[in-house]
Structure 1
């Protein structure tokens, strides 16, 4: 695959429709839609999902966060039922995929929860991204081996421990190791501390991936066109040359 740009948009911050139009103008491949970014990302409303779908290119993949509360990734049965309803809501309102992750208190994969959520996603033809719960797990190698049988389409990580405060540069060695593993067709999504200025260096050190940007492309909760263009110039230099001919 070629490297692609994914933008995380906060549904409850900034002009959502305008941000989607700016993303469309700059050929953003994928949008991850979240509410409550101050709490690490929560499930957005049906109305917010519809707004993004209506103002995005048909080719832009809309990935919806499924996370009913802040805190850890250990969910009770009632919360899993809520997440199943949220997956159906995402499908009904135009999502292409959903983003979730479930762990046990010991930091291992919660197989019972994953079976239910992945099955529901597949029933609604939604791609599954396992989010940065991956970085909160007890051991990445073990968690990866447990996760791959569920055939997630994508796995989001920055190669460092969740809530460690470390940026993606500190996780490069881990990301390189992950890309060397047999991912059974799952695509890697790299983000967390990612900036346009870091991207050229990371592109040289890592194989193609989805590059997941959030705050570095925003100013007062608005996407900054110049920063999007800067990223796309790194990812698609030939396209930039054609546009200037």
Structure 2
């Protein structure tokens, strides 16, 4: 007699052309496309979206119009809608968005307006880790709002810095979500800890940057402030290793 574990989809988060191609070559099955991951990610440039549109897997751009809190003015919302129009124009699969009130709760009016705009353009919807600020107060209520607004999935670390640290809250989130919405654990997931996370949660997809230190910069570039303090780059071998491990989990075993 054998058991078959469910197949697990790997989403890789990238912030440049080489990272995008590394994720695709390494076998990722979905990409979250960003700029400036060193500051939590910003909306990617149209040129990067154009390259993404040529790839054989679904690509979901993150839409974030400025660094800092996920709190948006009416002008920000107009810019986010325009970015959605750009994403739809390239024929990409969906968008990754989120918005909070100053209290940390999800900003229902802003999210509802953005979700409506995205759906009208045929775009899927991932609610990003802005969710975790709300989940720190009321995980179940935050899940219910995401379902109400029509999101396809929630990217979450369980209201902690990493998904491994947030496992207890992630268990609550997964249990409450049931089959109503997909839960995508992310932040700090690697080959070393993915089994612990999957065994506890039983989810069908995980999110990882699969990155390593980027050693391509020069001292002159660092001195002028052109580089992040600890730049990282998506690594094809790391993607490939995690994909292979997830595939091995899914094979029949005694």
What is the CA distance between 1:239 and its match in structure 2?
Answer: 8.2
Quick check: 1:170 aligned with 2:165? yes
Q: Provide the TM-score with structure 2 as the length reference.
A: 0.82
- Structure 2 segments unaligned to the other structure (5+ residues): 1-5, 215-231
Residues 37 and 195 (structure 1), Cα distance of their counterparts in 2 relative to 1, 3 Å cut: same
Structure 1 vs Structure 2 CA RMSD: 2.1
SS at match of 1:108: coil
C-alpha separation in 1, matches of 2:71 and 2:85: 21
- List per-residue Cα deviations over 1:130-182 (Å, max 9, x = no partner): 00000112422222222211110010001134xxxx32221111111111113
Partner of 1:203: 198
Quick check: 1:143 aligned with 2:142? yes
C-alpha separation in 2, matches of 1:142 and 1:222: 35
Contact 2:143–2:176 at 8 Å: present in 1 too? Answer: no
C-alpha separation in 2, matches of 1:40 and 1:19: 16
The structure whose RCO (Cα within 8 Å, separation 6+) is larger is: 2
Residues 225 and 239 (structure 1), Cα distance of their counterparts in 2 relative to 1, 3 Å cut: farther
**Superposition misfits of 4+ residues, deviation over 6 angstroms:** 238-241
What is the CA distance between 1:120 and its match in structure 2?
Answer: 0.9
What is the CA distance between 1:240 and its match in structure 2?
Answer: 8.7
- Structure 1 segments unaligned to the other structure (5+ residues): none
Q: 1:217 aligns with which of 208, 211, 214?
A: 211
Partner of 1:52: 52
Quick check: 1:232 aligned with 2:220? no
- List per-residue Cα deviations over 1:4-55 (Å, max 9, x = no partner): 10110113xxxx1x4333333333111001112122111011111011222x
Equivalences for 1:93-132 in 2 at 5 Å? 93-132=90-129
Residues 19 and 38 (structure 1), Cα distance of their counterparts in 2 relative to 1, 3 Å cut: closer
Contact 2:60–2:95 at 8 Å: present in 1 too? Answer: yes
Contact 1:190–1:209 at 8 Å: present in 2 too? Answer: no
Partner of 1:159: 158
What is the CA distance between 1:183 and its match in structure 2?
Answer: 4.7
What is the CA distance between 1:88 and its match in structure 2?
Answer: 0.7
Quick check: 1:19 aligned with 2:19? yes
SS at match of 1:117: helix
